[in-house]
A and B are shown apart, each in its own frame.
Chain A
């Protein structure tokens, strides 16, 4: 790209010097390294091996490019953007131009960069090839007028540095420090300085005028004039204007993971995916293997399993919910996210207690350079984020969100659903808030973990209250229903590393509350949890890596309820009866303990890696002992670079909640683990620098799953024992998942996710054949793309096509009426033998960034269902079940929001 065209006069005063083009090497390697650290946990945790760039390549030998004569004659300068492979020995190869400028610049830059020598990069402390982006700047250096030097001071010699210019380079808008930038006075080209990791440089200069030139990759060239007195030390902040703020580049060459499928999305991708309303965690639902949840709710229906069979973790600690009020914003501020790992199946032995999938959301540590923050405001809530270094190696980050719809709704925008005079009105008031606070000691963001210890303390929580108030009509008094759920977690982490051994200890404590207040009926469940994770990883040799750990928790649930006598539970109900009864108080305390040990080993046999694993768990649930042994095996074969075949099989178990094992009629004491056999086989192929494809087939067999109701047993004395649940659920799911992904490049990211699957279920001993699961969706196609445009614009789109959910066809031939319940019954055909119409929807998102000196304003428009497709979400029937009516989901729904960050 030709950057500048100088006038003939100026050109005559400039001298082309290749050595001036030094905005290279470190300019790229440092940001790349820093980014990697932000998108990956620093630890090499023992269970799920996340490759980490532990040492960035550094330019050791710079070779000056030959300035093209024609370009020099024309006074042209240029910045050539290249992709370079830094080999294990530090040599450069595979140099390709990604943004050229012609005029001979491209060839000159490639010739020079091929001769560069770097210090080798390290992944997990082992030299590894990496691919980096590199910008070679061709800049014409000023030359004194002919004869000036001789005429002016023939005997003066080189100027003496008797002043110091201390500068801090700050990115306009974000206030990020600009690392690795070159600072130099035109008057003294031999003296130069680079900014350090906090954007500071110290440049010795001679007294007098200094035409300062600041060169940094991805920033516009900054030039100014400083005049210093002899002996003066001047400190100045310089605000550099970013060029088009592209997505960060990525490092490849990372070690592959053992899991057949592990989807990881970075923060860059998370916040701008269309249709997610800027809510990062919703992106999970755009991955293969995840069925579309009705009404856009937050349920994760993974490979045919029920939502309760997929667990969600935050920094490795289980949390009860991901979304406020079941389908609202996620309970974690998007700014706090580092990345999300999603395992649709076949996950490592480090994870357990789930027979579906696993979602692990990772937080990030606070900024090491200076303080940053952001505020996001919309009609319903406000969220704040703040991060800052406290001292060297100590940083803090905090976020909070609070809805104010409870204050606005009654007066400004009441969600009052008018009803008939008899029914009165219904007012729905949701209130939610969440917070996250994280303190880190040891190491800085973007800094590799060397031998030694790192500590962090992380507290987070969420609170939801949904109040429904029904008033007027035929009610004697207003009726309110309050549903309140909250959780708090405090998580400590100690990471220790010595040589090839890593150890991580994660103790945590938690408190959960769930309560329902509905007239005379009140239910409250307080839950206290204490847990511990310990993960050890040892790379004994290049042939064998060993991982082991423990995962245990102890939980106490204290439940109290004030209820009427339970119709249908404590006595046998009569159809249509809603009798008055006396109120009773029920109190129960349930203790649950579950402890697991796991071990895995990677046997590296050339292109083949075999990883056997075992997770053994023992539980004491409501006084009953349960054990489970889950053997698992992963095999990985890489016949050549860029192609990997992967397979896995294993057993997975999920203990029943302790509260489900209480005596009947409220529980079922003999419940045992839900179980699943999971297998998968896939191939991953890198197609181009940014494009890769992954195809995976899977077969999952679920058995001993919990279903309701359980058996009813009549005792010899005539008493009835009705069990709430039974381990009689059977299920099977099989299919194929495809992920064609364009990784985050400078200006684009996106993916095509397609799932072809079938999910069926039945009940053991019923004699009933398998029928489709409620959310069986044969085809699930998601296409996502987001591109950054000039002038601070960014445009994204998401298109989805999903086969309609199964439904049982209505076959009305006669009205079927019960005079006792005064209701009609439907006559259906074969269970789930029909489908509602297919789903398809387009969502768009447009962002515009306004960059100011110290802050950035992002205005976004996110439009769901652009062409207003009436997608079927559920089916209603008339009161005699003669006809069915489809209920459509969300119509076209624009959302305008603003976000300020500094």
Chain B
């Protein structure tokens, strides 16, 4: 027991020590991708049958794509796949001084292909340059082809262990790089096309934080809060509990499983540290956290403007963010 306790204590202390030395995710000090989202976050395939998914997988697996699909169903699929989606990403580059960043936007077959570079298994949808801030692109991610005869979406179904039962999750990867520093990021977002197995099953609605508070006061997007010294500031989102949706997913036996969204919020800023990087979600014990966080200014910092980022996710593919500002004096 002595060893156990000593070990536990030492480990915790070592962890704490390491934590003190390591980069803190709540401090945005270099090139980061802070958020990625599609609008809509989910496209439903109406009146979908599991056999359709198996048929898609079979079609993808056949060399010539000769599996017969009902023309009406095929039409539905094409319509679904052709649904436009607005892609947005939030890029932070506080040390970049407005530098130009190179990016590519890729769509690929496998969710495990995290840099989306498996030969013949990806499609480059966009290549250009950008700068820090929000990048918006209009895409039709589901209507991509690996070659003229190989629809990407079918290959995604085929590569999926569950053949799309949990949703056809199309990986879209942002390949972002800064030449001057060599910083390089592969950021993946899944575009979700779900079979509507149940009549009550509805498409996901994008989660949006209704607002933020600064020490209990409202904090508008264009408002610059004034802060000084090293005192902690309590920062939390405006109550959004009513916005969390009930939804249905299919069990592995194709029975409806009722779930309730439990949003997660990530807190970040360009100066100082938040007490917790991420709040929200429901644990295995059924408990959910309060969304109350504290921000502590960095010691020894000089007077500066601080940008805060709050990214919310609903656990179904929906994601959005708020940006807020403050001015801090020592």
Q: Which residues of A contact B (CB under 8 A)?
A: 277, 295-297, 324-329, 378-381, 403, 405, 415, 417, 420-423, 428, 430, 432, 474-477, 479, 481, 518-521, 564-565, 570-583, 665, 712, 714, 716-722, 813-820, 822, 825, 873, 876, 878-880, 882-883, 885, 887-891, 893, 895
Contact A822/B313 with A324-B1, A581-B257 known, Cβ cut-off 8 Å: yes
CB-defined A-B contacts under 8 Å, sample of 6: A422-B294, A423-B275, A564-B286, A574-B316, A712-B161, A890-B10
- Among B205-263, those with CB < 8 Å from A are 232, 249-254, 257-262
Kindly state whether residue B311 has any CB partner on chain A within 8 Å.
Answer: yes
Number of B residues contacting the other chain (C-beta, 8 Å)? 89
Q: Is the CB of A422 within 8 A of B163?
A: no
Contact A422/B275 with A574-B316, A576-B315, A579-B315 known, Cβ cut-off 8 Å: yes
Which of B20-28, B71-79, B139-147 sits within the interface?
B20-28
A227 to chain B, nearest CB (A): 55
B240 to chain A, nearest CB (A): 14
Kindly state whether residue B196 has any CB partner on chain A within 8 Å.
Answer: no
Q: Is the CB of B284 within 8 A of A518?
A: yes
Kindly state whether residue B8 has any CB partner on chain A within 8 Å.
Answer: yes
A565 to B250, CA, bound (A): 12
A718 to B56, CA, bound (A): 12
Q: Is the CB of A819 within 8 A of B36?
A: yes
Kindly state whether residue B85 has any CB partner on chain A within 8 Å.
Answer: no
Kindly state whether residue B97 has any CB partner on chain A within 8 Å.
Answer: no
Contacts of B166 in A (CB 8 A): 571-574
Q: Is the CB of A328 within 8 A of B1?
A: yes
B159 to chain A, nearest CB (A): 13
- Among B1-29, those with CB < 8 Å from A are 1-12, 14-15, 18, 21-25
CB within 8 A of A521: which of B24, B188, B285? B285
Kindly state whether residue B278 has any CB partner on chain A within 8 Å.
Answer: yes
- Among B28-70, those with CB < 8 Å from A are 33, 35-37, 49-51, 53-54
Q: Is the CB of A325 within 8 A of B4?
A: yes
A296 to B5, CA, bound (A): 11
Contacts of A295 in B (CB 8 A): 3, 7, 11
CB within 8 A of B294: which of A421, A717, A818? A421
Which of B98-106, B130-138, B148-156, B179-187 sits within the interface?
B179-187
Contact A474/B276 with A519-B284, A572-B252, A887-B14 known, Cβ cut-off 8 Å: yes
Question: Which among B3, B277, B293 has the highest number of chain A CB atoms within 10 Å?
Answer: B3
A573 to B188, CA, bound (A): 17
Q: Told that A816-B185, A817-B185 touch, could you supply 11 new A-B pairs with CB distance under 8 A? A: A295-B7, A570-B257, A577-B316, A578-B282, A580-B261, A718-B54, A718-B254, A719-B253, A815-B184, A887-B15, A895-B2
Contact A476/B288 with A571-B257, A714-B54, A819-B35 known, Cβ cut-off 8 Å: yes
Q: Which residues of B contact A (CB under 8 A)?
A: 1-12, 14-15, 18, 21-25, 33, 35-37, 49-51, 53-54, 89, 114-115, 161-163, 165-167, 177, 183-190, 192, 232, 249-254, 257-262, 264, 266, 275-294, 311, 313, 315-317, 319
**Closest 5 CB pairs between A and B?**
A519-B285, A718-B50, A572-B166, A577-B315, A578-B281
**Chain B residue at smallest Cβ distance from A323:** B4
A653 to chain B, nearest CB (A): 31
Contacts of B23 in A (CB 8 A): 878-880, 882
B297 to chain A, nearest CB (A): 15
Contacts of A578 in B (CB 8 A): 262, 264, 280-283, 315
Contacts of A712 in B (CB 8 A): 161-162
Q: Is the CB of B275 within 8 A of A813?
A: no
Q: Is the CB of B287 within 8 A of A817?
A: no
Q: Is the CB of A296 within 8 A of B1?
A: no
Contact A571/B250 with A415-B8, A430-B1 known, Cβ cut-off 8 Å: yes
Q: Is the CB of A579 within 8 A of B4?
A: no
Q: Is the CB of A876 within 8 A of B287?
A: no
Question: Which among B89, B162, B311 has the highest number of chain A CB atoms within 10 Å?
Answer: B162
**Chain B residue at smallest Cβ distance from A579:** B259
Q: Is the CB of A476 within 8 A of B282?
A: no
Contact A432/B257 with A720-B165, A817-B188 known, Cβ cut-off 8 Å: no
A816 to B252, CA, bound (A): 30
Q: Is the CB of B249 within 8 A of A822?
A: no
B284 to chain A, nearest CB (A): 5
Q: Is the CB of B276 within 8 A of A423?
A: yes
CB within 8 A of B1: which of A329, A421, A878, A889? A329
Contacts of A421 in B (CB 8 A): 232, 275, 294
Contacts of A880 in B (CB 8 A): 23, 25
CB within 8 A of A890: which of B7, B50, B260? B7
CB within 8 A of A582: which of B9, B53, B232, B258? B258
CB within 8 A of A815: which of B24, B165, B185? B185
Q: Is the CB of B3 within 8 A of A296?
A: yes
Q: Is the CB of A430 within 8 A of B4?
A: yes
CB within 8 A of B9: which of A324, A415, A721? A415
Contacts of A574 in B (CB 8 A): 166-167, 192, 315-317
Q: Is the CB of B258 within 8 A of A581?
A: yes
Q: Is the CB of A479 within 8 A of B50?
A: no
B6 to chain A, nearest CB (A): 5
A462 to chain B, nearest CB (A): 13
Contacts of A519 in B (CB 8 A): 283-287
Q: Is the CB of A521 within 8 A of B15?
A: no
**Chain B residue at smallest Cβ distance from A883:** B22
B116 to chain A, nearest CB (A): 10
Q: Is the CB of B10 within 8 A of A888?
A: yes
B325 to chain A, nearest CB (A): 22
